[in-house]
A and B are shown apart, each in its own frame.
Chain A
Amino acid sequence: MRTKQEYLIKYKDGNLYCEIADIWIDPSKPVKKALITHAHFDHFTFGCEEYISTKETAILLKERVGDNIKIKTFEYGEEFKINGINISFHPSGHILGSSQIRFIFAEEKWLISGDFKLQKDQTCKQYEIVKTDYLISECTFGLPIFKWDDANKIANDISKWITNSPEKTSLLFCYSLGKAQRLLKEISQTNFKGNIYSHGSIHKMNNIYRELGIDIKDTIKIENKKKIDELKGNLILLPPSLSKGSYLKNFKNIQTAFASGWMSIRALRKRSGYDKGFAISDHADWDGILEVVKKSEAKNVFFHHGDSEALSKYLVEKESINVLLFGK
């Protein structure tokens, strides 16, 4: 038996850290070497000396951090060595470029799931099952009340929501990287044939996705001085940060919605302040997490990013899987 001090990867100052390789995973403060699972803002920080990621993540990261960062890229599945540890990226199905990271050291395998989902997503690579001894998994939606519908069902609901109110401008709030492009792809395959506008922050990401070969519809960048009549019956994609404050005053006669996994719960939907909630997520639901834990064949599991109490207890009781706690 090892003690937790000897774990290959541990929690240090609130971040995942591998001491032997002296490398951090998605650190929230500037470090020497950072492995980045994907380019969402809560998974990287400015000012690291060196970043390592997949090619797609690197491009998105440069867009967000700046062109002048030092960044090394690897293909999915390509192994590289740091201080005797074999490291590789594997698709995690979360957003374009997102990855799980596998470490192999002295025949012991560690897998950091990153943010992941098993559901089909036409804008990124499908999650790859990777076998491991130790699994560090996210569990954002680690309760059985979370079960996602297919994305095309949600897209049809959104389409209906827009077309049922032809006099209104429909504002759909969603994360600008990943969720927006996935929605765009799905919605353009529904019966809704109106215009889709997007906010600058989303528009920028759409362009990068297209440059990286993802086939998504061209959207119109929304400008502040659009005529009201032009917008009615159409859809505008906006980042959630704009839902509060004065930005909405630019529009008249609107209906608002938020696309997020949390919207599957009525109380959260009501509290969110949006007219409507669409439960679509780029994270795994309960069944997804269980499937990954089982198929990874991990004997030892750690959870982070989320409330893991119930999930851990369930795995220990029902599946006899050893769930460990990080010494934070």
Chain B
Amino acid sequence: MSLKKFSELFSDLDSINSTNNKIEVLKNYFLSNDPIDNSWAIYLLTGKSNKRFISGRYLKNLFSQIYEYPQWLIDTCYLKVGDSAEVITLLLKNKTKSRKKKLSNISLNELLSQTIPALSKLNEEDKNLEIKNLWESLPEDNHLIFNKILTGTFRVGVSIGLITKSISKLINIEEEIISHRLMGDFKPSIDSYEFLVNKNINLQELNSKPFPFLLANTIEDKIFKNSINDFQFEWKYDGIRMQLIKRSGNVSLWTRGQELVNESFPELVEKMSYIKDDFVLDGELLVWNFKEQIALDFSLLQKRINRKSPTRSIQIKYPIIFIAYDLLEINGRDIREIKLENRRIELEKYFSKWQIKTENNISDIFKICDLIFPKDWHDASTYKEKSRENNTEGLIIKKKNSIYFSGRKKGIWWKYKVDPMQLDAVLIYAKGGSGRRAGLYTDYSFALWKDKELIKFASAYSGLTNIEIKELDKWIRKNTIEKFGPVRSLKPEMVFEISFEKIQISKRHKSGIAVRFPRITKWRKDKKINDADSLENAYELMKKIS
């Protein structure tokens, strides 16, 4: 019933790796707490409350002020911990011990609906006093949660999918139904929780369920022995795979991760609802350049996916398109058992019908995927190599006579991805990470040769294993030339293979080039720095591509 219970839940979820155990813990929590606290718990766990009441910096300053702690010492601690709320929690330990804990039984509801929102109404002086008072009145075990909520940084390894699964287990109702209920503006209240755990399913909920997605496998050499005519070829887009469902007039948009994302893309939901037929489409959502009919960067799509109820200007700035690959159900008839080539005919037929017959123009948000027709496998490989030009990742190759299986069924769909571009570069700077990587040097900058000088060309922080990160961290500490705040310049000694997706001229960078999605793909311990690539190599690579 209390904040204390929620703190325990947090600590449990934080220390359990197994999904099943997490679900069990959540289920038990929901069973033993009252609806209002449960609804707040769901609200917090699903990240719906990331309102920042005060900043991490403010929190640190306040602590420094109240307890006369030097700011630099708090900052040094922060480098080790990587989270302001946690630093202050650790520093608060034993500081408030002797006080009576008046708030040891405060409920999650009271804290979140009254105590914390009330802070915003106070002037700075009163607010500071009240936070100090709360620190002293709340039991120590609750400080972390409290500080995290204050700074809007409450996060735990629980996805919305996990909450969905737990509720689903709790009341024995399919996950898709719960997903549907969790969609929308979940406001913490007794009603919203009771709606969530209602054992009666209404028809609309039943109608929204997606089919299991069919997934592609990485291509194998044996496929090249088959006749090219047995396959359908499509571009492999780098967007979000989705099922677009319209049943009984209601549109739902499901990601492969079983997430219902109607709220992020209201313009698509609206347009599709104008179509007279009911359907289930398998496809990809992208941010699209309509003028050139080309996909835009995935990073732009990210600006859309995490934003619920986007404003009109966001919708215009990041225009989306749904590209349908496949038709799985039409007007209530499940056609997954029909051969792909025939499903494609149906898809084309309905698409042209919708284009003509729908009152509103749908072509500014919806199309079906273009097919490619390579003459032979060599030609297919040429197409694949050209895929960078239209911002795709390669080709998807589908067997024409296949039915729509569920899951990763081998030998039906293949992904034929273009190789990334690579250069061997020298590690020259390292910067401390934050969050889970706090206290380790995990952000790296790499350089290429220009005559006898090393010029920085890319930064990357992914691609190494945890063991490699630790090893490299040790090396970094021993081979630092200079420290500038959190950044260290390093003895040029280590060579890494850096892979990236795109290379282009950039005036903003000293190197004159910019690369997209740089990541470490290999620690080239076998190479000396003189073996690393030069900027000239990079320019050549750029020429070759364009």
Interface residues in chain A, defined as those with a beta carbon under 8 Å from any beta carbon in chain B: 143-147, 264-271, 273, 275-277, 287, 309-310, 313-314, 317-318
Contacts and interface: CB of A to CB of B under 8 A. Distances in A.
Contact of A271 (B15, B87, B436): B436
Given A267-B83, A271-B436, 5 more contacts: A143-B76, A144-B90, A267-B437, A270-B436, A273-B466
Contacts of A144: 69, 73, 77, 90-91
16 contacts: A143-B76, A144-B91, A145-B80, A147-B93, A147-B94, A265-B439, A266-B81, A267-B81, A267-B82, A270-B14, A270-B436, A271-B437, A273-B466, A275-B16, A287-B94, A310-B77
Interface string B428-449: 0000000111111000000000
A226 to B, nearest CB: 22
Given A275-B16, A313-B72, A145 B90 contact: yes
B420 interface: no
B15 A276 contact: yes
Given A145-B80, A145-B90, A147-B93, A266 B439 contact: no
B17 interface: yes
Contacts of A310: 72-73, 76-77
B150 to A, nearest CB: 17
A145 B87 contact: yes
Contact of B15 (A275, A287, A318): A275
A268 B86 CA distance: 12
Contacts of A273: 466
Contacts of A269: 15
B15 A267 contact: no
Contacts, number: 63
Given A264-B90, A267-B438, A317 B16 contact: no
A148 to B, nearest CB: 9
Contact of A143 (B14, B80, B83, B94): B80
- List the 7 closest A-B pairs by CB distance, nearest first: A145-B90, A267-B438, A276-B15, A310-B76, A147-B93, A145-B77, A267-B82
B332 interface: no
A23 B72 CA distance: 39
Contacts of A270: 14, 436
Contact of A314 (B73, B81, B86, B93): B73
A259 to B, nearest CB: 14
Interface of B: 14-17, 69-70, 72-73, 76-77, 80-83, 86-87, 90-91, 93-94, 435-440, 466
B60 to A, nearest CB: 12
Contacts of A145: 77, 80-81, 87, 90-91
Contacts of B440: 271
A147 B90 contact: yes
A311 to B, nearest CB: 9
A289 to B, nearest CB: 14
Contacts of A271: 436-437, 440, 466
B14 A266 contact: yes
B232 to A, nearest CB: 44
Nearest to B470: A271
A287 B82 CA distance: 22
A144 B95 CA distance: 12
A56 to B, nearest CB: 32
Name which of A266, A277, A318 has the most chain B CB atoms within 10 A of its CB: A266
A318 B466 CA distance: 38
A276 B77 CA distance: 22
Given A273-B466, A275-B17, A317-B70, A266 B86 contact: yes
A273 B465 CA distance: 13
A146 B439 CA distance: 14
Contacts of B69: 144
B70 A314 contact: yes
Contacts of B82: 267
A317 B69 CA distance: 11
A143 B436 contact: no
A318 B437 CA distance: 31
Contacts of A143: 76-77, 80
A269 to B, nearest CB: 8
Given A143-B80, A144-B73, A314-B73, A267 B435 contact: yes
Contacts of A266: 14, 81, 83, 86
A31 B215 CA distance: 65
Contacts of B437: 267, 271
A143 B77 CA distance: 7
A313 B15 CA distance: 35
Nearest to A168: B21
A277 B70 CA distance: 29
Nearest to B437: A267
A255 to B, nearest CB: 9
